[in-house]
Amino acid sequence: MKVHFYKYQGAGNDFIIFDNRNNTISLSEKQINQLCDRKFGIGADGIMLLEDHPSHDFYMKYFNSDGKESTMCGNGGRCLVEFARSLGILEKETGFMAVDGLHRAIVNKNKTISLQMKDVNDIRIVNTNYYLNTGSPHYVIFREDIKDIDVFKRGREIRYSAEFDPDGTNVNFVEFQGDKIVVRTYERGVENETLSCGTGVTASAICASLYSKSKKSSYDIITTGGKLNVSFKKQDKNNFTDVWLTGPAEFVFKGEIDI
């Protein structure tokens, strides 16, 4: 079957998107893995299906490049909002469902998109570092030398360590740079460092507030793929509400492919 696909990227985190409102597209793990392959397929960190939802604008179904349906993807969520806008589903604001629940989003005048993330109320210390869930599980480590870290090697070791059996975790290395933070992320399911990770920078910003004991309610974040912003309301050390991830979401190209 020949289908249309759309390629989008948000801060270098790239995705293949299918409009599946007619519910005709069903992909196997092998097909997803092949489509995401950068040498033998289209190439992407993940695949998203935009599907109908009975009470909200749409449903976001997300798969990592390993072929498995996955947890929430922040950069992907922004890209799917921009795709939905291009289809005429929304103009400036939307509410959509994902695996972790309802998300609101706003299309800003500067063409960035602000995506409301889930509230965070469970932050644990594991081996002196932070562990939390921002729609996906994240381990956050603060360092002063992240440019020199072998993110693939160290991230993979932690991702598969016994502490996080059986599902594993994403791993973020974070460094303060003035009033900003720099983040590098090893993504579970991609099984490599990605240019950015939306749920990862969200987790990193929240942990930066705790680590620095700051009263800041917003952090600008530098990733290899671009700049993002995370804002929140800090209720107490384990309770963050009104969490928003803001950043770019850009159309790259479209095409047809046999699946």
Q: Read off the pLDDT of residues 72-108 as tens digits, 9 standing for 90 and up.
A: 999 999 999 999 999 999 999 999 999 999 999 999 9
Which pLDDT value is given to residue 28?
A: 97
The pLDDT, as a whole number, for residue 137 is 97
Q: Where do the DSSP E strands lie in 76-136?
A: 93-98, 101-107, 113-116, 124-126, 129-133
pLDDT tier at 152, thresholds 50, 70, 90: very high
- Nearest-angstrom CA–CA distance, 207 and 51: 33
Please give the average per-residue pLDDT across 160-176, as a whole number. Answer: 96
Give the whole-number percent of the chain exceeding pLDDT 90. Answer: 97
Contacts of 150 (CB under 8 A, 6+ apart): none
Task: Return all residues near 118 (Cβ < 8 A) that are at least 6 apart.
Answer: 72, 100, 101, 133, 134, 135, 243
Q: What is the mean pLDDT of residues 32-60?
A: 98
C-alpha to C-alpha distance for 89 and 24, rounded to whole angstroms: 19
Q: pTM value? A: 0.96
Distance of CA 37 to the CA centre of its chain: 19
Q: How far is CA 130 from CA 39, 125, 249, in A?
A: 36, 5, 28
| pLDDT digit string, tens, across residues 183-223 | 999 999 999 999 999 999 999 999 999 999 998 999 999 99
Instruction: Give the model's pLDDT for residue 39.
Output: 97
- Is the pLDDT confidence value at 236 over 90? no
Residue 48 · residue 198 · CB < 8 Å: no
Confirm whether 36 is a catalytic residue. Answer: no
- Which residue out of 36, 79, 197, 207 is catalytically annotated? 197
Which of 36, 73, 79, 207 does the annotation list as catalytic? 73
Domains of the chain: 2-116+249-258 (3.10.310.10), 124-247 (3.10.310.10)
- Tell whether the torsion through CA atoms of 54, 245, 228 and 106 is positive or negative: positive
Mean pLDDT of 148-168: 96
Q: Which residues have C-beta within 8 Å of that of residue 226, sequence separation ≥ 6?
A: 11, 12, 195, 196, 247, 248
Question: Who contacts 128 (Cβ-Cβ below 8 Å, separation ≥6)?
Answer: none
Q: Per-residue pLDDT for 241 more than 90?
A: yes
CA pair distance 254, 238, nearest whole angstrom: 43
197 is catalytic: yes
